[in-house]
Amino acid sequence: MKMITAIVNKEDSRAVCTELIKAGFSVTRLSTTGGFLMAGNMTLIIGTDDEKVDDCIAVIARCCKQRTEVVPSTASYGLGVATAYPLEVTVGGATVFVTNVERFEKL
């Protein structure tokens, strides 16, 4: 068995959960915050059989779009002179980790 941990954009999370449930996966959604942008995202936990991992990732890939976010940044020119400029960052579609599950029980 594997555990898939997928960090997805908040705007995609409803669609991706709906599609995962439709495809027969069990999903837990956690509200999370990205450390770099400090913006809300959603982390999905999916436990599934080894042979279904690729199907699960295909659903996630289909539902999650890449987006460009603009974040304020600063450049320093020395002598205390600094200027602010917008920095473009590409976020997503999804960041996916697949890990082995040693033991799975429902008690």
Give the binding site for ligand 2BA (CB under 6 A). Answer: 7, 34-37, 39, 41, 89-92, 95
Q: By beta-carbon distance, which residue lies closest to ligand 2BA?
A: 34
Kindly state the smallest distance separating residue 26's Cβ from ligand 2BA, in Å: 22
In the bound complex, what is the minimum distance in angstroms from residue 95's beta carbon to ligand 2BA? 4
**Sequence-separated (6 or more) residues with CB below 8 Å from residue 74:** 82, 83, 84, 85
Contacts of 102 (CB under 8 A, 6+ apart): none
Is the Cβ of residue 35 or residue 80 nearer to ligand 2BA in the bound state?
35
Grouping H, G, I as helix, E, B as strand and the rest as coil, residue 52 is: helix
